[in-house]
Amino acid sequence: MADPDDRDLGDPSRRTYLAEERTLLAWWRSGLAALAVALAVGRLLPALLNDENTTGFVALGAGFVVVGVALIAMSAVGYRSVEHALAEGRFRSMPAAATWLITGALLVLAAGTLILLVIEW
């Protein structure tokens, strides 16, 4: 029986490319989740609260749509740039500005949702 340390696991770059594909799928899932939250905040919450004034909920829902679309678009751009970097033997991390922009947008939308729920409850 072969020792597990003696197995040939193939070229390590193959695993790196596959990890990057999993990262792309995770970004897509995050974008789709933001779109689902947009639907819930913009349509479902006003209906559950029987609220006639849906302007705030629709605005927050639109904000979540923008974040969801940005996440999906950024996933494609990030995937391609990391793929090129890997092909050249380099490493490319996500720009800090993108991290802070998405984090800030999500925090603002979360706070807005919380405030709107407290006011409307």
Dig out the tokens for 62 from the structure: 């639109």
Nearest to 102 by CA among 53, 68, 76: 68
pLDDT tens digits along 9-42:
556 677 888 888 999 999 999 999 999 999 999 9
Would the pTM count as exceeding 0.95?
Answer: no
pLDDT, position 25:
94
Q: Using CB atoms within 10 Å of the CB of residue 70, give its burial: 0 to 12 exposed, 13 to 18 middle, 19+ buried.
A: middle
